[in-house]
């Protein structure tokens, strides 16, 4: 898996989030997370994106529960993609 594949895997099925934050914004943040070699720092970046995602989804009209559910699913895919990418050793450090 390379960074582009990891970003694609992480953003799959994220239509609502991509539409309210914008595909370029989401791709930029997910790419930055994937490029971060330090697990702790990557996780902090991921949590910041999770909070921003929930806020954006609520601002876009979802109730808090729906927004949190959607953002948490996205967060899980980002974390899994980061793990797969970095545990495979395919990222340049």
For 53-68, the pLDDT digits (tens) are: 999 999 999 999 999 9
Output the pLDDT for position 88. Answer: 67
Of 47 and 12, which is predicted with more confidence? 47
Alpha-carbon span 43 to 51, nearest angstrom: 12
Domain positions in the chain: 3-87
Q: Check whether 2 has a pLDDT greater than 50.
A: yes
Of 89 and 82, which is predicted with more confidence? 82
Output the pLDDT for position 93. Answer: 44
Alpha-carbon span 89 to 52, nearest angstrom: 29
Per-residue pLDDT, averaged over 28-37, amounts to 96
Of 91 and 77, which is predicted with more confidence? 77
Place of tokens 């994106």: 49
Cβ(89)–Cβ(3) under 8 Å? Answer: no
Mean predicted lDDT score pLDDT of the chain = 91
Distances (CA, A) of 80 to 7, 51, 74, 88: 11, 18, 10, 12
Of 49, 25, 43, 36, the residue nearest 3 (C-alpha)? 36
């Amino acid at each position: 898996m390379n960074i582009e594949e990891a970003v694609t895997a992480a953003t799959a099925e994220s239509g609502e989030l991509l539409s309210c934050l914008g595909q370029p914004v989401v791709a930029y943040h997910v790419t930055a997370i994937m490029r971060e070699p330090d697990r702790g720092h990557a996780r902090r970046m991921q949590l910041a994106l999770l909070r921003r995602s929930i806020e954006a989804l609520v601002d876009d009209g979802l109730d808090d529960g729906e927004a949190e559910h959607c953002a948490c699913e996205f967060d899980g895919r980002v974390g899994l993609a980061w793990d797969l990418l970095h545990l495979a050793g395919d990222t340049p450090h």
